[in-house]
Amino acid sequence: MATERPVRLVLDASLLLDPVGAGAPVPTLRPGAEALLRRLRHSNLGVAICHPEEMPTTSGFLEMAADLNSFGYISLPAPTGNHLLNELMLEWSRTSSCFYATSTVDEDLFSELQSHNWKVIAVDNECGTKDSGVVNIGKLQELLITLATLIKKEIASSSILMVGYAMKPSREEDFAKRGAFPLYPSQNGLIFVPLSFELPLASQLQEVDIILHKMTDEIISIDPNCSISFPRGISFSAGMSEVIRFMEEYPDFCIIDPFKNISPLLDRLQIQEILVRLQELGSEGRPKLRAPHSLKVINFSGSELQKQLAEANLSFPLIVKPQVACGVADAHNMALVFQIEEFSNLSVPLPAILQEYIDHGSKIYKFYVIGDKVFHAVKTSMPNANLLKSSSGDEPLTFNSLKTLPVATKEQLLLNRAQDNKSLNIGVVEEAAKLLKESLGLTIFGFDVVVQEGSGDHVIVDLNYLPSFKEVPDSEAMPAFWDAIRQSYESKKGKVQT
C-alpha cells in the first residue's frame, strides 16, 4: 500500500453543538455527535475542532470534547477579508488531504477553503449551498460514510476496499480502540465505516464493498424448540433483517460471514456434530483430538435418563449447557451436575446438552483462527471436578460462563501445578483449525481446547463466531484481521468470476 498523504478533518463547532440549546448556559452536543467523536478518535484521521473566535461561551465545552478525544483544537479567527484560514490550516493543506465539515453555510469561507484544496461537507443546513464543490448531507450520521467515500475517491487506488460493519456498540468499541476500524486505509487498503440502521441501508451499501457483522448481536430471539437453520428459528432486529433481505437480492455481495455459515455455531448440538467429524484426525503416537461425549435432552426428568447417559458413554460429573449457544441472554447459563438427583429443578435453559466434564487442570487454550493465521492464548479455566464438588455439597454448581465461571482459585492452581499435566500438542490443534476453517467457511472464529488429565486427549469444548481475541497482541491481531477480510473478499470475488 503506497503511503498516501495523511487525511485531516476539521469539524466546525456548529456541527457538534445542539442548535436547539444554542442560547442555553451550558451547551449540549447535537444528537449523534458523541458517537461521531468516539469513532473519529480511533479512525486514524487527524481531527481538529474549530470555532469562530467570537464564540467564547462554548469554547471550554468544546475544548473538553477535543481533549476527551485528544483532538486538536483550533480557534478559527472570525472571517476578516481574505484572512479566513489560520496558519495551521494552510500548512495542512500543503501536506494532507483536508476536509472541513460544518453545519453553518459560509460561502466566503468555503471558497477560501476550496481554493486551498479543502473538501467542504455541509451537514443538515436548511439552505443547501449553491456552491457545487460543497458536499451536502442531511444528517450527522451520514458524515463518516461520506468521508470514507471521499477518501476512497481521493486515494483513487482500485485496491481500496470499504468495509461496512454492524455489531453491538461495546464490541465495536473493543475493536475500534485496538485500531481495527481505520477510516484512513489500513496497511492493506481497507477503510471501515459503521453501518447505520437509522439510515437507508441500500444507499450505504452502494459505497461499501464488504459487510462485516456479528449477527448474534442483532438477534431478538431464538426458538429453542426447533433445530436452528438460518433463518429458521431465529428472529432478528429490523436493521439486520434489512441486511438479510439485501443479501437475498444481491447474493454475490461480499459478506463476512454468510448467515448460513454462522448459523451452526448458534446450536451446541450442531457444534458437537461438527467437532465429532474432526475426530478422524487422530493418528498414532499423537494425542487424540476429540469432542466431549454429549447427549441432548429436552427435559431433565426423563425416566430413561440413566439409560440414555450410559448409552452416550456419559458418567458424572456432567457439565450442562443450553443447546442455544449464543445470541440470547441465557445462552451461557450452565451447571456442573455431580449426581442424577441434582437434575431436579435444574435452572439450565432447555433443550440442553449434557457433556462429559473433562478434568483439565483448570487450564484452557483459546484458539483463534483469523484468516489463514492461527493464534492461541492460555486462560485459567474451571478446576478438576473433585475440587468443585467439595464446595457444592449435594447441589449442582450453576454459573454463567461469561460472567461467573467458577475458575480455579490460587490454591487450586498450586495444587494443579504438582500434577503432571500433559502438554498441548500445537500441531494437532492447528491441523484441526485448518480443517475447521474449511468445513465452516468462516473468516474469523474461535474454539477452546482442554487437555484431559491422564489420557492427554485434546478435547474441543467450545466454538465461537467472531470472538474478541483480546489476548492476541494488537500488533499481530490487527494485520491478521485486515488480511483475513481482504482474503475473504478476494476468494469470494474469485468464485463469482469463475
Query: Residues in the site for ligand I4P, rule: CB under 6 A?
Result: 171, 216, 326, 366, 402, 446, 448, 462, 464, 467-468, 470
DSSP string, 154-171: HH--TT-EEEEEE--HHH
Q: Does residue 332 interact with ligand ADP by CB under 6 A?
A: yes
- Let me know if 437 is exposed, middle or buried by CB neighbors in 10 A (0-12, 13-18, 19+): middle
Applying CB under 6 A, among 111, 188, 401, 425 the residue interacting with ligand ADP is 401
Contact 100, 113 (CB under 8 A): yes
Instruction: Return the residue nearest Mg ion (CB atom).
Output: 462
HSE (side-chain half, CA atoms, 13 Å) at 334? 23
Stretch that binds ligand ADP, among 38-46, 184-192, 249-257, 400-408 (CB under 6 A): 400-408
> How far apart, in whole angstroms, are the C-alpha atoms of residue 209 and residue 162?
5
- Let me know if 442 is exposed, middle or buried by CB neighbors in 10 A (0-12, 13-18, 19+): buried
- Least spacing, CB of residue 168 vs ligand I4P, in Å: 7
- Least spacing, CB of residue 173 vs ligand I4P, in Å: 11
Q: Does residue 319 interact with ligand ADP by CB under 6 A?
A: yes
Applying CB under 6 A, among 448, 457, 465, 489 the residue interacting with ligand ADP is 448
Q: Does residue 457 interact with ligand ADP by CB under 6 A?
A: no
Which residue's CB is nearer to Mg ion, number 182 or number 406? 406
Instruction: Return the residue nearest ligand ADP (CB atom).
Output: 462
Which residue's CB is nearer to ligand I4P, number 152 or number 366? 366
Asked if omega into 25 is within 30° of 0 (cis), the reply is no
Backbone phi, then psi, for 481, in 5-degree steps?
-60, -45
Q: Does residue 318 interact with ligand ADP by CB under 6 A?
A: no
Q: Which 3 state secondary structure label does DSSP give 271?
A: helix
Q: Does residue 355 interact with ligand ADP by CB under 6 A?
A: yes
Contact 209, 489 (CB under 8 A): yes
Q: Which 3 state secondary structure label does DSSP give 236?
A: strand
- Least spacing, CB of residue 446 vs ligand I4P, in Å: 5
Which residue's CB is nearer to ligand I4P, number 49 or number 255? 255
- Least spacing, CB of residue 462 vs ligand ADP, in Å: 3
- Least spacing, CB of residue 155 vs ligand I4P, in Å: 32
**248 Cβ neighbours under 8 A, 6+ residues apart:** none
Which residue's CB is nearer to ligand I4P, number 11 or number 324? 324
The cell numbers describing 465, all together, are 463466531
> How far apart, in whole angstroms, are the C-alpha atoms of residue 186 and residue 174?
17
Q: Which does 357 bind (CB under 5 to 8 A by kind): Mg ion, ligand ADP, ligand I4P, none?
A: ligand ADP
How far does Cα 234 stand from its chain's mean position? 20
Instruction: Name the β-bridge partners of 234.
Output: 222
Which residue's CB is nearer to ligand ADP, number 305 or number 405? 405
Which residue's CB is nearer to ligand ADP, number 329 or number 418? 329
Which residue's CB is nearer to ligand I4P, number 223 or number 330? 330
Pairing of strands 135-137, 119-123: parallel
Applying CB under 5 A, among 43, 272, 464, 488 the residue interacting with Mg ion is 464
Residue from 159, 21, 149, 10 nearest 29 by CA: 21
> How far apart, in whole angstroms, are the C-alpha atoms of residue 38 and residue 478?
19
Applying CB under 6 A, among 88, 405, 415, 426 the residue interacting with ligand ADP is 405
Q: Which does 218 bind (CB under 5 to 8 A by kind): ligand I4P, ligand ADP, Mg ion, none?
A: none
Name the DSSP letter for residue 407: P
Which residue's CB is nearer to ligand I4P, number 146 or number 464? 464
Residues at the site binding Mg ion, with contacts judged by CB under 5 A: 462, 464
Residues at the site binding ligand ADP, with contacts judged by CB under 6 A: 292, 319, 321, 325, 332, 355-358, 360, 364, 381-382, 401-402, 405, 448, 450, 461-462
